[in-house]
Amino acid sequence: MTAPPATLPPGSAAPGSAPLDTPAERYRMLRLIRGFEELALGLVKAGAIPGGIHPYIGQEAVAVGVCSALGPADRLTSTHRGHGHVLARGAAPHRLLAELAGRVDGLNGGRGGSMHAADLSLGILGANGIVGAGAPIAVGAAWTARQAGDGRVAVAFFGDGALNQGVLLESFNLAAMWRLPVVFVCENNGYATTLPAATAVAGSATGRAAAFGIPAEEVDGMDTEAVRAAALRAVERARSGGGPGFLECRTYRYEGHHTMERRMKLHYRTPEEVEAWRARDPLPRAAAQLEQPAVAELDDAVARQLAAAEEFALASEHPDPAGALDHLYADGLRPRAGAVA
């Protein structure tokens, strides 16, 4: 494993701690995720982040609301659009950014990138590049918790696209049959890449969960406090032996599915639709609960933290190509090279 960085940037003295207990802390996290994604978009454009990212901008209330309902030992699985979940769970922004840039001080030592960011020490069992794949993994983590009797809960984040993956429905069944402590969080942002959910999902998302006997709730995914309240109910029920829960958080991504979309002229949604959702942005709603000076102070603190994170990430070294196969096997097995020396 990569050695921890020698010095942490200011504002990151406690990597992994992300208290979300107060409205101010939740606002700070919304701002951090938003600012992180804006910074990352710029770094993609500048070529400092290889490949690209699936920006989370617009959906921040879901990650913050749900993660604010979790305890320190709980676990989650995330998606290809996972930066918000990883940050809200408390991962250090400078190490996530270094991961996106493919540097040695990244969360995964530059081996995972945006779509596979993980921090096992925080119970983050990975973002995932396959739609729906994380949900049964979270069910497995919930199974371990139930077997251990340790009261941990697992959360599975996924999008509306995953509702049409068979393995997700299999997961609902196993979780419900075995009353496992897992909360399924569907972030319905209206589109599976470009396919509107309205043309892809027969029946309803909540109806699918309800069919398995899983209590299902539809939530305003642009309202952090509403998401938090629903998540607290579901997490508490799961923790106390009441079995799985399902939240459909109605939300929206302002950016394209992927940063590559910026170069393409796709017409699967209208500017008016995007603007209508922007008018419901979760940040001003959260800021309205706070005094104005406090908001400005938090904004400044986040800006400084992100500036330091950028400096840290871009100063971190690129991995040595000689280590490209490091960690392939947990027992250190070295596979044969691709050519005979």
Partner 1 sequence: MTRLSYTKALNRAIADELADDPAVCVFGEDIGAGMAGPTLGLLDRFGPERIVDTPLSEQAFTAMAIGAALTGRRPVLEFQIPSLLFLVFEQLVNQAHKFSLMTGGQASVPLTCLVPGSGSRDGWAGQHSDHPYSLFAHAGVKTVVPATPTDAYGLLRSAIRDPDPVVVFAPAAALPVRETVTWDLAPIPLGRARIHRPGTDVTVVAVGHLVHDALAVADEVAEDISVEVLDPRTLYPLDWAALAASLERTGRLVVFDDSNRSCGFAAEVLATASEEMRLIAPPRRVTRPDGAVLPFAPALDRALQPGREQLRHALHAVLKHP
Sites of contact with partner 1 (CB under 8 A):
1-2, 75, 77, 106-112, 116, 118-121, 125-126, 128, 130, 133, 135-145, 147, 154, 166-167, 170-171, 173-174, 177, 325-331, 333, 335-336, 340
Minimum distance from CB of 49 to partner 1 (Å)? 17
* CB of 13 or CB of 333, closer to partner 1: 333
Minimum distance from CB of 32 to partner 1 (Å)? 23
Dihedral, CA atoms, 127, 131, 132, 135, nearest 10 degrees?
A: 0
Identity of residue 162: A
* CB of 108 or CB of 251, closer to partner 1: 108
Minimum distance from CB of 263 to partner 1 (Å)? 27
CB-based burial label for 71 (10 Å; 0-12, 13-18, 19+) = exposed
The H-or-E segment that residue 26 falls in is helix 23-45
Minimum distance from CB of 101 to partner 1 (Å)? 14
How many of the other CB atoms lie within 10 Å of CB of 239? 17
* CB of 31 or CB of 111, closer to partner 1: 111
Angle between helices 60-67 and 23-45 (to 10 degrees): 140
Token pair 């990975």 is at which residue? 126
CB crowding 164-192: b at 16 or more within 10 Å, else e: bbeebbebbebbbeeebbbbbbbbbbbbb
* CB of 80 or CB of 111, closer to partner 1: 111
Minimum distance from CB of 268 to partner 1 (Å)? 27
**Residue 267 phi/psi, 5° resolution?**
-130, 60
What gap in Å lies between CA 232 and CA 69, rounded to an integer? 5
* CB of 12 or CB of 171, closer to partner 1: 171
Minimum distance from CB of 72 to partner 1 (Å)? 15
* CB of 55 or CB of 126, closer to partner 1: 126
